[in-house]
Structure 1
Amino acid sequence: MTDNSNRNSGQKDNSVYLISIAVTLAVVAWGYWAPENFGAFAKALFTGLTKYFGWGYLLTMNVFVLFCLFMAFGRFRHVRLGLPEDRPEHSNISWFAMLFSAGMGVGLVFYGAAEPLIHFGNVPFGAEPGSIQAARDAMQISFFHWGLHPWAGYAVIAMPMAYYQFRRNSPGLISSLFIPLVGQKAVDGAFGKIVDVLAIFATLAGITTSLGLGTLQLSSGLNEVMGMDKTVMIQIVIIVFLAVFYTGSAVMGIDRGIKWVANFNLLVCLGLMVTLFLVGPTLPIVDSLMTGIGDYVSGLIKESFSMAPYGGPYESHLKNWTLYYWAWWIAWAPFVGSFVARISRGRTIAEFVAGVLIVPALGSFTWFAIFGTSGLHLQLVQGIDIAAQVTKDISVGVFALYKYYPLGFIMSVLMLVLITTFFVTSANSATFVLSMYSNHGDLNPSKSKMGVWGVLMAALAIVLLMTGGLQNLQTVSLAAAPPFAIIMVCACASLWRSLAKDETEGKL
């Protein structure tokens, strides 16, 4: 792989930037003017992908987990993502706060209490719905969905991108991953542009729909806490409010904006976890965490490869949950992976894998143990049918939970703050990465492009929210998952090839 310091200066055209905006606007126009046709296409597309490529989702995600563990314990574990003399730019706490907020935070808030309750009433493993075994299975499923696999997908993009950016001076583009495999000429040509446009579309579609879904949850929270009506006008005001914050923090940069919000997130998150742990069913939470980790580890291989060759209830669960999640993590990988790479300079590969794979998984387990167990305890021990409330409207999950515990109102208000700041950190990271992609991979992109992407994301979310197309665009964005699964496998091969070559040439 050659030094690519001239790629930024040599490539002056804005074709990737303009094409990606045109494609995105065309898709949204389709959703606006023909929502029923758009919805039918989106549903048929996702059904076909899960039916014919479901095995591919499972297989590639398993490959990513194994590759990350192999790298962490292999002969390259002490290699730094950067030059040998480089050291981390950010403290461990700030680094973890930023990567966790960008990659998972808003999802944990949305599903932390709700997902175990939904599985509790519809367990695919044969346990009687509503039973004690169903509760245990529900926690195991939630741990599996939010464990090692999502972060492995992010890591296999972030590792090679960080290595190439900080050791080879490559631009921060997904297409740079292919230089060791297909050569500089192909990456600078149409092939590279297609890869980068696909990355921009997947990132924009994913974060825009998350903005819309996060807005719906905030609207539900305001309704529960303050009695505010869930109207479209209020939801538009929420989007505009969020847009000001995430665009502003992105323009301020990583050190002055993104890192500050991420650190604040972590404090509020820990505060809410500790509070519910103390006022909730403390001992059952500890027991659930221990049991859940044991069930996760013991069932990891089986669940990682389980399909539904003979149909049955598990087939529906696989399609609606596991495969949907796996496709979603893959579609988000270019955005989260690029951002994690940007903030990981100077980390060794072993340190990187521990911080990006192991620590976030343990954090997710703890979150689900606290919030999931608190909800299941209400259902099983106190006889409160909270599962019915959550199944009816998943966005009210955590707020419905808080109503039955001391300090519930205060925790609900803090949760509204956390949802806001968690989304802001995801969106400002996405704004930063989109600007990198459309600015020839510049690791310090122009503020004007950040402003354009920030406004465009808000505008798209508003249009789609008004036309009911958010869920459809989210589904269409998952079409990026199969080609990106291939890109991610190539990223693994590319990193290994580069490391082996550098080792042979004595550059490590």
Structure 2
Amino acid sequence: MAAHPTGNPPDQPAGETEAEEESESPTSSVAHRVFWPSAVVILLFVLYAVLFPHSAASAVTTVQDHIIGYLGWYYQAIVSLFVIFSIWVGVSRFGDIKLGRDEEEPEFGLLSWLSMLFAAGMGIGLVFWGVAEPLTFYDEPKPGIGESSAARSEFAMRQTFLHWGVHPWAIYAVVGLAVAYAIHRRGRPVSIRWTLEPLIGERVKGGWGDLIDVIAIIGTLFGVATSLGFGVMQVSAGMEYSGWVDSTGEGLQVLLIVVITLIAIGSVVSGLGRGIRLLSNVNITIAALLMIFVLVTGPTEFIFNTLVQSIGNYLQNFLQMSFDTGVNYGSEGTGWVRQWTLFYWGWWISWVPFVGIFIARISRGRTVREFIAGVLLVPTVVTFLWYSALGGSALWEEIFGSGNLTEGGVNTDAALFQLLHNLPWTGFVSGVTILLIVLFFVTSSDSGSFVVDMLASGGDQNPPIWSRVFWSVAEGAVAIALLLAGGAGSDSLTTLQTTAIIIALPFSVIMLIMCVATLRCLRAEHRAYEAARRREMAQRLVHHTVNALEENRQDEAAGRTRAWGEYPRGSRRLPWRRR
């Protein structure tokens, strides 16, 4: 598709420019109907989880079990639908529409853009589960896989690719594209509510819009806080396994949260163009170096063979895995799918407001096709390589090496460090890995705080600095409170995580409506473009006809006769020009 005929996005007046400064605007303020309800609900729920941890855990687990038990088929179906929708939009005639003004260049370079969306999307999850998930699937496979090590190994990589490949990124792409089109193409504030404007019109400014933003804020903060809490458990476990500390107590974990929160505050205050982008680039660099180290010092040939074979298995079984509910193996099969696949789908959807808004905010100037390709393909390929390197090395160690990584079950907190213990330079590499984990948590925290603050500030792309600090501190405080919850910190964190996944159910309905609204916008713009192109062609034809008639009159007055090839291009179609 060519440039928009008017040279400006729809609903944005000609000549209007958006000045985006990485500093607080004098008029910046919070949206009180979103900020205070979100803060109050978060405070009340955290108090409930801290004061009555077992009651809260039982209540939310019961709700979650009912949702997954009765609506597991729904989660499988809609996530597969999001994959189909994202790919179709990317390859369709809408792909050339730019998320911004037609002449606008991308706000961030390609490497910085990919680094930021990757770090915010699932960077920390890759570090945490890079070794643990393939080992867990190898040790406890889905019913019907078989007992041979080859079958379990193939299944482990194939299922890991499903959970971390195209499907989660398609979930992010649906919301990211809708938000990016609304804020960059239509000039709307940064908010989930504006993605529904094509369907509900001015009502997005009222109570329904406020409710959508409140749900997005709560889900985002709960998701980041629980990841922060569980993440410091992995860091402390790595420090203990590496011999840095004698034991991992609550004091060390609280200290780690405080340090991560302070770094995140400095990053989020400095803005997207400085702190967040810099840390994301550093993260990707260290992660790439760690992956290369494992590739070189680990079973290199086995890793590359695993990569190629696993991609083939993944593609061959893509449709079957996408719609697999485990029903043919009874309660054991459906229970396994609920515990892993459906849990992941709910968890990714619970992170959608955060990640979707963030990648939309950093994607200004990209076309729809670039956005879909960047969000779907590039992170997926990198993820496959990452899991093949770390997970493949762990599987090789388990099958052909010492075979001690699954003794007594997989220790998810320490699995990565157990693998590194079998490679050279253990102490140094473990230290770098701990630094990587901390930095990934910092980027998750600062980007999450930035998104929450934009929502709580009425969609301001450069929200007030004081509220950026408030939400960063809130995330750290929630994580600390739940870790210290009467000795039941892990239960409290799980309660909060489960609550975030419960929130994913109503938000999944919003996502379906969002797909319809986005499609309506893209079709309307394409129709406007086609109508303008036809008008331009008609005007050009009229212009050529007038010129041809004038030339014909001049030729007749002068008594000239031209050969067919001597007439200007465009007038050859006129039969009266021929002699």
* Partner residue, 2:214: 197
Match of 1:481 in 2: 504
The offset of 1:178, in angstroms, is 1.0
Q: Whole-Å Cα distance in 2 between the matches of residues 77 and 116 of structure 1?
A: 36
Matches within 5 A, 1:82-121: 82-121=100-139
Q: 1:130: Cα distance to partner?
A: 6.0
**Partners of 2:99 and 2:366 within 8 A in 1:** yes
Q: CA RMSD in A?
A: 1.8
The 8 Å contact of residues 3 and 168 in structure 1, kept in 2 or not, is answered as: yes
CA deviation vs aligned residue, 1:57-99 (integer Å, no higher than 9, x gap): 1111111111111011101011111111111111111100000
List aligned pairs for 1:493-508, cutoff 5 A.
493-506=516-529
Q: Which residue of 2 aligns with 1:220?
A: 237
Report SS of the residue matched to 1:444.
coil
Q: Tell me the distance in 1 between the aligned counterparts of 2:74 and 2:366.
A: 31
> Which position in structure 1 is the counterpart of 2:78?
60
Distance 2:285 2:420 in 1: 19
Query: Among residues 420, 428, 431, which one is paired with 1:402 in the alignment?
Result: 420
- In the alignment, which residue of structure 2 is the partner of 1:450? 468
Q: Is the 8 A contact 1:101 1:426 kept in 2?
A: yes
**Residues 201-241 of structure 1: per-residue CA shift (max 9 Å, x gap):** 00000000001011111110111113412100000000000
Between 14-23 and 478-487, report the one with greater CA deviation. Answer: 478-487
Aligned pairs for 1:250-269 (under 5 A) are 250-269=268-287
* Partner residue of 1:126 out of 144, 163, 167: 144
Letter matched to residue 400 of structure 1:
Q
2:135–2:410 CA contact under 8 A, matched in 1: no
1:423 aligned onto 2:441: yes
SS at match of 2:406: helix
CA distance in 2, matches of 1:123, 1:13: 48
Cα pair distance change 1:13/1:267, threshold 3 Å: closer
CA distance in 1, matches of 2:423, 2:361: 41
Gapped runs of 5+ residues in structure 1?
none
CA displacement at 1:490 relative to structure 2: 1.4
Aligned residues: 504
SS, match of residue 385 in structure 1: coil
Indicate conservation of the 8 Å contact 1:120/1:130, yes or no.
no
Where 2:414 maps in the other structure, the secondary structure is helix
Q: 1:387 to 1:183 in 2, by over 3 A?
A: same
For residue 70 of structure 1, the aligned residue among 58, 65, 88 is 88
| Post-superposition CA distance 1:25-66 (Å, at most 9, x none) | 111011011111101012111111111111111111111111
- CA distance, structure 1, for counterparts of residue 138 and residue 327 of structure 2: 24
How far apart in 1 are the matches of 2:497 and 2:341? 16
What is residue 56 of structure 2 aligned with on the other side?
38
- Alpha-carbon shift at residue 407 of structure 1 (Å): 2.1
Q: Distance in 1 between matches of 2:318 and 2:215?
A: 32
**Counterpart residue identity of residue 306, structure 1:** D
Shift of 1:307: 1.1
Contact 1:120–1:129 (Cα < 8 Å) also in 2: no
Unmatched runs of 5 consecutive residues or more in structure 2? 1-9, 17-24, 534-579
Q: CA deviation at 1:129?
A: 4.2
Matched to 1:122, the amino acid is E
C-alpha separation between the residues in 2 aligned to 1:436 and 1:12? 9
Deviations 1:399-433, CA, capped at 9 Å, x for gaps? 01111111222221111011011111111110100
Q: Is contact 2:30–2:457 with CA below 8 Å preserved after alignment?
A: no
Report if aligned partners of 2:136, 2:410 keep a CA contact under 8 Å in 1.
no
1:287 and 2:310 are equivalent in the alignment? no
Matches within 5 A, 1:239-258: 239-258=257-276
State the shift of 1:489 in Å: 1.2
The answer (yes or no) to whether the contact 2:450–2:468 under 8 Å persists in 1 is yes
Q: Cα offset for 1:313?
A: 3.2
- Write the letter of the residue equivalent to 2:447: S
The answer on whether the counterparts of 1:121 and 1:129 sit within 8 Å (CA) in structure 2 is: no
Partners in 1 of 2:473 and 2:28 — Cα distance? 29
The whole-number CA distance in structure 2 between the counterparts of 1:156 and 1:504 is 22
Letter in 2 for 1:329: W
Q: Match of 1:77, SS?
A: helix
1:461 aligns with 2:479: yes
3-state SS of 1:50 partner: helix
- Tell me the equivalent position of 1:163: 181
Counterpart Cα distance in 2 of 1:393 and 1:278: 25
Report what 2:155 is aligned to: 137
Please identify, of 218-227 and 139-148, the stretch whose mean Cα deviation from structure 2 is larger. 218-227
Q: 1:12 to 1:215 in 2, by over 3 A?
A: closer
Q: Retained in 1: the 8 A contact 2:94–2:526?
A: no
Question: Are the aligned partners of 1:402 and 1:408 in contact in 2 as well (CA < 8 Å)?
Answer: yes
In 2: Cα distance, 1:215 partner to 1:230 partner: 10
CA distance in 2, matches of 1:129, 1:458: 44
Instruction: Sort the Cα spacing of 1:11 and 1:487 in 2 relative to 1 into closer, same or farther, 3 A.
Output: farther
- C-alpha distance in structure 2 between counterparts of 1:236 and 1:392, whole Å: 25
How far does the alpha carbon of each residue in 1:308-333 deviate from its partner, in whole angstroms, 9 at most, with x for none?
Answer: 33414321220110000000001101
Shift of 1:362: 0.7
Q: Once the 2 structures are TM-superposed, how far is the Cα of residue 168 of structure 1 from its aligned partner? A: 1.2
1:367: which partner in 2? 386
1:319 is matched with which residue?
Answer: 338
> Shift of residue 382 of structure 1?
1.4
CA distance in 2, matches of 1:12, 1:110: 35
* Partner Cα separation in structure 2 for residue 470 and residue 330 of structure 1: 18
- 1:100-158 residue CA offsets vs partner (Å, 9 max, x unmatched): 00001000001000111111111115233461211111111111110100000111111
* Offset of residue 495 of structure 1: 1.1
CA distance in 1, matches of 2:244, 2:93: 58
Counterpart among 377, 386, 398 of residue 396 in structure 2: 377
Contact 1:113 1:375 in 2 (8 A): yes
Matches of 2:234 and 2:447, distance apart in 1: 21
How far apart in 2 are the matches of 1:24 and 1:372?
37
**Whole-angstrom distance in 2 between the partners of 1:178 and 1:119:** 39
The aligned residue for residue 333 of structure 1 is: 352
TM-score (norm 1): 0.96
Q: Is the 8 A contact 1:436 1:445 kept in 2?
A: yes
Given that 1:121 and 1:130 are in contact with CA atoms closer than 8 Å, whether structure 2 keeps it comes out as no
Among all aligned residue pairs of Structure 1 and Structure 2, give the percentage whose two residues are the same amino acid: 36
Which one is further off, 104-113 or 52-61?
52-61
> Does the aligned pair in 2 maintain the 1:331–1:480 contact within 8 Å?
yes
Q: Offset at 1:503? A: 2.2
Distance (Å, rounded) in 2 between the aligned partners of 1:45 and 1:3: 44
Does the CA-based 8 Å contact 2:29-2:464 persist in structure 1?
Answer: no
Residue identity matched to 2:394 = G
| Equivalent residue number for residue 275 of structure 1 | 293
Q: Which residue type is aligned with residue 141 of structure 2?
A: V
Q: How many Å apart are 1:388 and its aligned residue?
A: 2.6
1:345 and 1:444 map into 2 onto residues whose CA distance is: 15
- Helix, strand or coil at the partner of 1:31: helix
Supply the distance in 2 between the matched residues of 1:500 and 1:384 (Cα, whole angstroms).
56
